Structure 1
Amino acid sequence: MKFNKLTIENYKSFQYPTAIDFPQSSEGKSIFLIGGMNGAGKTSIMEAINICLYGAKTDFLYKYINRKELAKGNAFVSFELELETDEHETILINRSWSAGATDSPKHKDLTEKLVVVKNGKRVSVQNKEMWQDYINATIPKGITQFFFFDGEKIQEIAADDHSEVRLKSSLEAALGIQYISRLSSDVLYLKQEERKGFVEITDEDITFKESELKKEQRKLTNKTQERDDLSEELERFKSDKEEAQTRFKAIFNLDPESSEVIKQKEKKRIQLSNKSNQLDNQIKNLTEQHLPWALAGKLFDDVKQQINLESQSKKQNAISENAVALAQKIVENFDTPEPITSAPLTASQKEKLHQRVLGLLQENKSADEVVKILNLSDRDTAKVLNKIEEIEQSDVLQLEDLIKEKSELDFEIRSIQASLETSGTTDSEKELFEELQSTIEGSNTQIGRLSVRLSNCNEELVHIENKIKEIELEIGKLYDKHNFSKEKVDFIEECDAIANLMTTYMVKLRKNKVHLLQEKTFEMYKMLSSKSGLIKDLEIDNKTYEITIRDKSGHTMRKSGLSAGEKEVFALSLLWGLAQTSQLNLPIIIDTPLSRLDSIHRDNIVNHYFPNAANQVIILSTDTEVDNNYFKNLEPHLTGAASLEFSQNNELTTVKEGYFWN
């Protein structure tokens, strides 16, 4: 696989769509050098490839959207990668995020859009997970750290004596061992799932289930007989009850009643009698307290009207009788203590005022003289009115309703008493009455008891019948399972055999892969090391991936015992050996790989590692790493070069063709 072109838009200092082409030689190899000063955007290129392939979280992307565009409200970022597969198919992946027309956009407003174009034709990406699975299968994310790496990754591997152990799962993924392990686990999972629904069926299992069926069938026969006996007994009691009821009606000309009904009637008679007695007492109290007054109830309205007329007349006459004195007093006080008018009234004016006031006061005199029949004082008037109100608010006026209610109660009591008395008068008739009543009541009791038992019996019958059906179905399934039980056993045994075979294969594959890894790693180390004779041999444990280094004397030495340059060279050799052993034809992208190395190691890496690292190598370097001299050594192997130019004033990165000096 090779990358053909990368386009970045609105990410960090790449404000405008910026494209970088990765040309190939006629032999299909590609070594492309990208130069840039610190902060110019070299790391952004590696990040852009990873984001385009695997996506990213919106909070991370939002933080690195170009600040100028984000200030304009343009919350948009886009990455596009064109690659060529080993099958010579061209795939273009465009992954972008946009907040749309949103005021003050936030990271949560970003929406991802994925476009995939295969061989010039856009394909459906409605199922993004499917395409992401395809990308992950083509370029596994877990192993890209060994193909896309920077100086920090080299340092991580170089600085720790046990870094390989910590990277075991990633190393196994890169070597292809992880897939065999997963396949083996999947086979064992299939076996476990098959076991969940599988029980080996024997002849004894079927015999046991058939004996269980016979037991339930016997229970069904016994329960059916019990139901028939109960039904027969129930019908007999119903017949006895019906016969007793017929005789009772023929002899006494009454419908028979149960003792419970008779008790209820007697209880009701007593209740009604008590209520009738209460009404009696209430009627007596009313007649004793208020009846004499109540007899005059029809005169109450006339009395109240006469009292009102006499009272009004009395008030009006009181004013008229004192009119002369009142008029004189008003005139005398007109000018006293001081005149109301500007000058005191004359005698003539006072006389006119006196006559006018006197006329007004005498207008209130009653035109018709009211005949005083009662002629009560104010105190006696209040007493009479209070007594009338007391009588009107008492229950005496309801006396008629109470008498009527008592009459109805007494009639109902007599009816109940009549129904409780037998028509027979002789002792023999009474004895027969009680005998028939007892027969009817006894039959009712037995009918109720037998009905409950019969209902329970029918429920048990339904339960037994359902149980028999379930067992019959189980027996049928047992016969079916019995036929392919051996097939299942064979399948499970085959799963075990396949899983064991894969385990054996995985052990051998790991051993061979690890052996090849140590050979390839040591091969590159000898080419890159300035002290190739320092290490005589190295060994990688095929279970733990622990690396053991031996010096020229055969003594074991720690990786931490190497110089800083030797450790980095060793880490770079391990990465190269891993790429060679994995047989994954992926591009290698290296960011600032030479910053911590001396000149000898740099010479070896430029002359031996870069040209042989992979079919496609993308190098991201500063001018002090691949300087003018190293560039001249590397230039014959290059298929192209570019420079990242960063404008401090505009905070903008642009791409220029050619390296710093060409």
Structure 2
Amino acid sequence: MSQLEIRSLTLENYRQYAGENEIQLQTQSDKSVNVIQGENGAGKSNILNAITLCLYGKESHYDETKDNELESYPYVNRGVLDEVGDNEIAEGRIEITLGEDEPEYIFSRSFRTVKLNSSSFSSQHGELQLKEKRGGDWKSVEHVSTRLNQILPVHVHQYFLFDGERLDEFFGEGYKNRVKNGLLDVSHIELLERGISHLRSFEDDSEKELSDVGDAAERKRDEYEKAKERINDLESDLEQTKTNISETKNHIQKIDEKLQDSANPEVRKKQQRREYLIERLEDIRDDIEEVRKEASRELVKSGPPLYAVESLDFTLSEVRKLSEQGKLPPKIQDTFIEELLEEGQCICGEELTEEHREHLISLQQEMSTVVENNLEGKMAIPGLLQDAHEDAETLMEKRRKLAELEDKEQRKNKELNEISEQLKAHDIPEDVDVQELEKQRTEYEDQLEELQEGKGKLEVRIDQAKENRDEKKKAFNEEVSKEEKNAEILKKMQFIGSSRDELESMKEDIISSVREEIETKMNNYFNEIIWKNEDYTVTLTDEYQVRVEGPRNDNKIGSLSAGERQVLAFSFLAALTSVSGFNAPLVIDTPLGRISSTPKRRLAQNLPEYIDDTQMTFLMTDEEYTDEVRMKMKSHVSNEYKLEFVDEVTEVVPYE
């Protein structure tokens, strides 16, 4: 294996792992998979937590359903803590050996827990340590974070070390932000962004150097500064509105959770239906926005020929009539004029003067142009008409599709309103006040609608304010450029601005290129590992919307099952890791948790192949790693381990 891999993981007194537990994970070139199988509670997920704690000082995948206070769930194994007295300390460590063909790096982090009493603890971890092999010897590395960032930076580690069970939530509400953040994380544009920020700051500093500008310029400067302040105020209002939107959504989510926990099955059923409809409605609205943009682009492209159809039809008809009458091409032929010029005299016998010759030559050129234009027009107009009719049909198809989507949106909204009214009328005594909750939910929905409308208006006003700022800046620059020394500063500012614009353009080009590459890979991965015998087209739009289109070209993302959403999320993360450029292994907790038995077997067979030449370590429950799944994966597996959990202590043993 040419990729970097985890060769061994050592856990000493960490959580369920008492004493020193070393897990060998180096793989063979044709078997890139490790499997560690354990029942829930045996410490399977804590292997993933140990890796993130060691490398980044954080247990990124801690089970939030458990008590998350360190006092009750300490780093150090509880059995080890039982052996020490109150206010005494127990210690442990995590060590990860990385390398390609041989060990190259040893990352380690120690931790300690103070036993305050039999049920209260305080835990801390130490600094990350690194030893690197140089010339056969292990040397300590001072700038550990620099080297770690070269291998697997903190801002991308979640795409290599992740909880598969949570992937079902990835394409839930707000997924476009998660997709966008993932794409930006792997685009390697940090230097460009720093450069853009530096140039913007340099431009502001240069602007302050302008002096002796006069009263007129000072007035224009004041207008320009006020225009900039206006943008800052509007952007501040926009951020506050976004915060309010997020808080309102959280209120709605909490109400939904209470309704979902209702003791009444009818209430739970209606709430589940509503959650499905809301999710589907978001996809429909995304589709509506996309189709509207496509229709607008089509209208811009096809508008001129469509508006000119009647004129083109009339022109073509007239040209054909004149051709049939013999008036086009004109009866004065090039050859006839050429003969007159060669003979040097008119048909009446009069000698041609220089003035006559110039007139004939001009007439010859004019007739040639008329003939050429006549032929070109007769050839071009039918093509223009055909394009216009085709463009009109395309535009009509977009409008039909838009009407269908808007009809779907209306029907979904109607059903949502019906569910809301039914829940408001619900008067069966139970553990939650459904009527009051639904009333509150409606109020929050109204508030959310107002906030989102306000957000849209603010975005428009910000765009307008930026246009106004640019106009004020131009007027100010024109005024101050009258002073020679200011003109030099303005030239410098113009150069800085041009450089910044160039970097912005490069940034957008890189993001666009990465988006296209991720789209291609995500489409390939999804179709490779999905278990259904039909082809899908997965696309990633400029607006970070993911579409999963079936044979009928309808977006199925809102109706995917939990397992299918998990596969889609797998495919997206696989695409991110593939284009990221980082040479790092994958560790996936619960990769098959939400997938039913029949597709699980096929996925188990395809999953190890979907990222070539990369070490993958799967942390699986006994319900995931069944005998059938094991047989499907056997040809790809180098190491198999089982977690045996007895008396709060886990032992890692070979799988038999």
Tell me the TM-score normalised to structure 2 length.
0.50
Cα distance in structure 1, aligned partners of 2:168 and 2:152: 24
Contact 2:33 2:636 in 1 (8 A): yes
Q: Please report how far the alpha carbon of residue 653 of structure 1 lies from its aligned counterpart in structure 2 after TM superposition.
A: 0.8
Contact 2:74 2:123 in 1 (8 A): no
1:654 partnered with 2:651: yes
Q: 1:70 aligns with which of 73, 81, 84?
A: 81
Q: 1:562 aligns with which of 554, 560, 566?
A: 560
Cα distance in structure 2, aligned partners of 1:43 and 1:575: 19
Cα distance in structure 2, aligned partners of 1:643 and 1:19: 13
Cα distance in structure 1, aligned partners of 2:125 and 2:621: 35
Query: What is the aligned partner in structure 1 of residue 623 from structure 2?
Result: 624
Identical-pair percentage: 24
Query: What is the aligned partner in structure 2 of residue 154 from structure 1?
Result: 167
Cα distance in structure 1, aligned partners of 2:602 and 2:194: 39
Query: What is the aligned partner in structure 2 of residue 593 from structure 1?
Result: 591
Q: Please report how far the alpha carbon of residue 610 of structure 1 lies from its aligned counterpart in structure 2 after TM superposition.
A: 1.5
Contact 1:75 1:110 in 2 (8 A): no
Query: What is the aligned partner in structure 2 of residue 172 from structure 1?
Result: 184
Q: 1:116 aligns with which of 113, 126, 130?
A: 130
Cα distance in structure 1, aligned partners of 2:565 and 2:123: 46
Contact 1:75 1:105 in 2 (8 A): no
Query: What is the aligned partner in structure 1 of residue 500 from structure 2?
Result: 499
Query: What is the aligned partner in structure 1 of residue 35 from structure 2?
Result: 33
Query: What is the aligned partner in structure 2 of residue 310 from structure 1?
Result: none
Q: Please report how far the alpha carbon of residue 131 of structure 1 lies from its aligned counterpart in structure 2 after TM superposition.
A: 2.4
Q: Please report how far the alpha carbon of residue 107 of structure 1 lies from its aligned counterpart in structure 2 after TM superposition.
A: 5.9
1:81 partnered with 2:106: no
Cα distance in structure 2, aligned partners of 1:137 and 1:190: 29
Cα distance in structure 2, aligned partners of 1:488 and 1:91: 51
Structure 1 portions without partners, runs of 5+: 205-481
Letter in 1 for 2:538: L
Q: 1:493 to 1:71 in 2, by over 3 A?
A: farther
SS at match of 1:180: helix
Query: What is the aligned partner in structure 2 of residue 199 from structure 1?
Result: 209
Query: What is the aligned partner in structure 2 of residue 635 from structure 1?
Result: 634
Letter in 2 for 1:76: E
Q: Output one character per residue of 1:637-657: Cα deviation in whole Å (capped at 9) or x when no partner.
A: 12222221111xx32111112
Contact 1:157 1:164 in 2 (8 A): no
Alignment of 1:303-314 (within 5 A): none
Alignment of 1:244-263 (within 5 A): none
Contact 1:560 1:567 in 2 (8 A): no
1:16 partnered with 2:19: yes
Contact 2:116 2:122 in 1 (8 A): no
Cα distance in structure 2, aligned partners of 1:624 and 1:101: 36
Q: 1:554 to 1:109 in 2, by over 3 A?
A: closer
Q: 1:168 to 1:35 in 2, by over 3 A?
A: same
Query: What is the aligned partner in structure 2 of residue 135 from structure 1?
Result: 148
Q: Output one character per residue of 1:470-496: Cα deviation in whole Å (capped at 9) or x when no partner.
A: xxxxxxxxxxxx999998766644432
Q: 1:486 to 1:10 in 2, by over 3 A?
A: farther
Query: What is the aligned partner in structure 2 of residue 221 from structure 1?
Result: none
Letter in 2 for 1:84: G
Cα distance in structure 1, aligned partners of 2:176 and 2:159: 12
Q: Which has the larger radius of gyration?
A: 1
Contact 1:80 1:92 in 2 (8 A): yes
Cα distance in structure 1, aligned partners of 2:625 and 2:123: 42
Cα distance in structure 2, aligned partners of 1:565 and 1:113: 39
Query: What is the aligned partner in structure 1 of residue 359 from structure 2?
Result: none
Contact 2:75 2:123 in 1 (8 A): no
SS at match of 1:619: strand
Alignment of 1:263-282 (within 5 A): none
Query: What is the aligned partner in structure 2 of residue 518 from structure 1?
Result: 519
Letter in 2 for 1:140: P
Alignment of 1:260-659 (within 5 A): 492-533=493-534, 535=536, 537-542=537-542, 544-555=543-554, 557-614=555-612, 615-647=614-646, 650-657=647-654, 659=655
Q: 1:497 to 1:2 in 2, by over 3 A?
A: farther
Q: Output one character per residue of 1:262-306: Cα deviation in whole Å (capped at 9) or x when no partner.
A: xxxxxxxxxxxxxxxxxxxxxxxxxxxxxxxxxxxxxxxxxxxxx
Cα distance in structure 1, aligned partners of 2:514 and 2:498: 24
Letter in 2 for 1:83: L
Q: Please report how far the alpha carbon of residue 92 of structure 1 lies from its aligned counterpart in structure 2 after TM superposition.
A: 0.9
Q: Please report how far the alpha carbon of residue 13 of structure 1 lies from its aligned counterpart in structure 2 after TM superposition.
A: 0.9
Cα distance in structure 1, aligned partners of 2:486 and 2:5: 52
Q: 1:7 to 1:487 in 2, by over 3 A?
A: farther
Q: Please report how far the alpha carbon of residue 39 of structure 1 lies from its aligned counterpart in structure 2 after TM superposition.
A: 1.5
Contact 2:8 2:97 in 1 (8 A): yes
Worse overlay, 47-56 or 101-110? 101-110
Q: 1:487 to 1:652 in 2, by over 3 A?
A: farther
Q: 1:583 to 1:513 in 2, by over 3 A?
A: same
Contact 1:169 1:178 in 2 (8 A): no
Worse overlay, 6-15 or 488-497? 488-497
Cα distance in structure 2, aligned partners of 1:22 and 1:534: 36
Letter in 2 for 1:121: W
Query: What is the aligned partner in structure 2 of residue 391 from structure 1?
Result: none
Q: Please report how far the alpha carbon of residue 55 of structure 1 lies from its aligned counterpart in structure 2 after TM superposition.
A: 0.8
Q: Please report how far the alpha carbon of residue 84 of structure 1 lies from its aligned counterpart in structure 2 after TM superposition.
A: 2.3
Contact 1:90 1:118 in 2 (8 A): yes
SS at match of 1:10: strand
Q: Output one character per residue of 1:13-71: Cα deviation in whole Å (capped at 9) or x when no partner.
A: 101111111113246x6321111122211101000000000114997496232112222
SS at match of 2:144: helix
Q: Please report how far the alpha carbon of residue 100 of structure 1 lies from its aligned counterpart in structure 2 after TM superposition.
A: 8.3
Q: 1:525 to 1:55 in 2, by over 3 A?
A: same
Contact 2:76 2:113 in 1 (8 A): no
Letter in 1 for 2:170: I
- State the superposition RMSD in angstroms: 3.5
Letter in 2 for 1:540: L
Q: Output one character per residue of 1:332-386: Cα deviation in whole Å (capped at 9) or x when no partner.
A: xxxxxxxxxxxxxxxxxxxxxxxxxxxxxxxxxxxxxxxxxxxxxxxxxxxxxxx
Contact 1:54 1:132 in 2 (8 A): no
Cα distance in structure 2, aligned partners of 1:32 and 1:180: 38
Q: 1:99 to 1:528 in 2, by over 3 A?
A: closer
Cα distance in structure 1, aligned partners of 2:589 and 2:12: 21
Query: What is the aligned partner in structure 1 of residue 55 from structure 2?
Result: 53
Cα distance in structure 2, aligned partners of 1:538 and 1:100: 52
Cα distance in structure 1, aligned partners of 2:567 and 2:213: 70
Q: Please report how far the alpha carbon of residue 121 of structure 1 lies from its aligned counterpart in structure 2 after TM superposition.
A: 2.9
Q: 1:60 to 1:177 in 2, by over 3 A?
A: farther
Aligned residues: 369
Cα distance in structure 2, aligned partners of 1:85 and 1:116: 17
Contact 2:97 2:103 in 1 (8 A): no
Cα distance in structure 2, aligned partners of 1:21 and 1:534: 39
Cα distance in structure 1, aligned partners of 2:597 and 2:119: 50
